[in-house]
Amino acid sequence: PVFAGMNGSAIENFSCVIYNISLMNCTWQPGRDAPGDTQYFLYWQNSRNTYDDAMECELYIKDENGRNTGCMFQNVRIEPEKAYFLVNGSSKDALIQFYDEYIQLYKIEKLMPPSNITVNCDEIKNDCIIQWQQPQISHSNKDNCFKYEINIKYK
């Protein structure tokens, strides 16, 4: 499809990550041929409710020129459907192309480490019991999502 707007004006290198259960951080770079006054705006929606209007970013991350190059979201819920992201731009000098992408949110979740790790060693039996709590995960509470690897270094 041919998008209206100046070639090379759409954002580049768009990516998002979800961490700490419900925080999402998205970043991008201004289009390499976009005029210097171009400002970008991010909208997204969990496409489950297509009736809902897309939400605009509430907390933009800005570069040294005051251009929006990222966004922080709080209280993000991971739904099974793909989420829709749209970044459009405006400039006095040119029409700016938009960028859009569908993302499966669970694929961009950065998992928390296991917590409450305890190690109990018995010198007589010559063994150790290592226990931990499964990290919290926003899209599932299934134990079978996790595989663990223990790396023991002797000093």
Residue 78 included in any domain: yes
pLDDT of residue 144: 62
Containing structural domain, residue 74 = 12-107
* Length of the chain, in residues: 155
Domain membership flag for residue 87: yes
pLDDT of residue 132: 93
| CA atoms 95, 40, 111, 83: torsion sign | negative
* Domain total in the chain: 1
Distance separating alpha carbons of residues 7 and 26, to the nearest angstrom = 23
Secondary structure (DSSP) of 69-127:
EEEEE-S----SSPEEEEEEEE-SSSPBPPEEEEE-GGGGBPPPPPEEEEEEEETTTTE
pLDDT score at 138: 72
Mean pLDDT for each consecutive 10-residue tract of the chain (155 residues)?
80 95 95 94 80 84 95 90 93 93 92 90 90 79 71 81
Please tell me the pTM assigned to this model: 0.80
Identify residue 32 by its one-letter amino acid code: R
Inside any domain, residue 44: yes
At residue 2, the pLDDT reads 54
In a domain, 59, yes or no: yes
- How far is the first Cα of the chain from the last one, in angstroms, to the nearest whole number? 61
CATH number at residue 82: 2.60.40.10
